[in-house]
Amino acid sequence: MNVAVELNEVSRRYTRRGTLALNSVSLAVPAGTFVAVMGRTGSGKSTLLQCAAGLDRPTSGTVRLAGQNITRMRERALTRLRRERIGFVFQSYNLLSELTVGQNVRLPGQLGAPRTRGVDDVLEAVGLAGLGRRPVGELSGGQRQRVALARALITSPAVIFADEPTGALDPTTGAQVLRLLRDAVDRDGVTVVMVTHDPVAAAWSDRLVLLRDGTVAADDPTPDAAAVAQRLAGVAA
């Protein structure tokens, strides 16, 4: 089994006397699968994502990402790994609104990432063909989120980490973004790890990881949206 992301007894404590945001979490995500991470606010979802993506370092435990042990990797090598193999999509888009769509999508390449796909190709893939010259500041939320996805796709990443990528979108637009993530998994073999509060969004995934107080409360194949909502209510209780 080719494992794209592997956490082994990962704990993260933000302050010396604070509680554990993550408490000995172990999780192995096979390449080409779509995992949704859910749990109530403060349960450790974003912390898990950040540790798994090499944006934050665990207090203890080990993390393997895209075939490499990143636990003690030097910052420069880690930056290169993130740039070349990883895509990020966040709720807040993280776009530069003064720049055009095309300039935003080209950014990873300008920061030294290998650009394996063309700008027009990824814009077409996310349904934004012909909008390359539009300033991002003139786009709707759904269009911005698709620009963020195009920017994540342009390097053909092995793993995409998404933190509430549909949190700011209406259901229809959200479904478009989820369809794109699903296609990246099914067509290109990308691995997706997505944090969400929305059972309908989670229902697009293959596997549902539920966090409670920094631990994995459940980890099973994803059921339909109604059953996801029920399980979520179970861990929130």
Please identify which residue in the block is written with the tokens 């990246």.
184
- Whole-number minimum distance, CB 40 to ligand ATP, in Å? 7
- The Cα–Cα gap between 115 and 107 comes to 10
Q: Work out what residue 44 binds among ligand ATP, Mg ion, none; the CB cut-off runs from 5 to 8 Å by kind.
A: ligand ATP
Nearer to ligand ATP, 53 or 158 (CB): 53
Identify which of residues 80 and 212 has a Cβ nearer to ligand ATP in the complex: 212
**Burial grade of 2 (CB within 10 A; 0-12, 13-18, 19 or more):** exposed
For residues 13 and 21, the answer to whether their CB atoms sit within 8 Å is yes
Residue from 45, 82, 144, 146 in contact with ligand ATP (CB under 6 A): 45
Among 43, 46, 156, 196, binds Mg ion (CB under 5 A): 46
Sheet containing 86-90: order of strands: 86-90, 159-163, 191-195, 34-38, 207-212, 215-221
Q: How many beta carbons lie within 10 A of that of residue 145, not counting itself?
A: 29
Give the number of residues in contact with Mg ion, rule: CB under 5 A.
Answer: 2
21 belongs to the binding site for ligand ATP (CB under 6 A): yes
Closest CA to 149 of 202, 194, 213: 194
Q: Supply the minimum distance, in Å, between the C-beta of residue 124 and Mg ion.
A: 31
By CB under 5 A, what part of segment 64-93 binds Mg ion? none
155 binding Mg ion? (CB under 5 A): no
Residue showing the smallest CB distance to Mg ion in the complex: 46
> Which tokens in the block code for residue 196?
């969400």
| CB-CB contact of 91 with 164 (8 Å) | yes
Task: Decide whether 93 or 132 has the Cβ nearer to Mg ion.
Answer: 93
Task: Decide: is 42 part of the binding site for ligand ATP (CB under 6 A).
Answer: yes
Separation of alpha carbons 222 and 35, rounded Å: 9
* Touching ligand ATP, residues 66-85 (CB under 6 A): none
One of 41, 72, 111, 133 touching ligand ATP (CB under 6 A): 41
At residue 8, the 3 state secondary structure works out as strand
Q: How many residues at the interface with ligand ATP, by CB under 6 A? A: 11
Nearest distance from C-beta of residue 46 to ligand ATP, angstroms: 3
Under the binding rule (CB under 6 A), the answer on residue 46 touching ligand ATP is yes
Burial level of 72, CB count in 10 A (0-12/13-18/19+)? exposed
For the bound state, the minimum distance from the C-beta of residue 97 to ligand ATP, rounded and expressed in Å, comes to 23
> Which positions touch Mg ion (CB under 5 A)?
45-46
User: Site residues (CB under 6 A) for ligand ATP?
Assistant: 14-15, 21, 39, 41-47
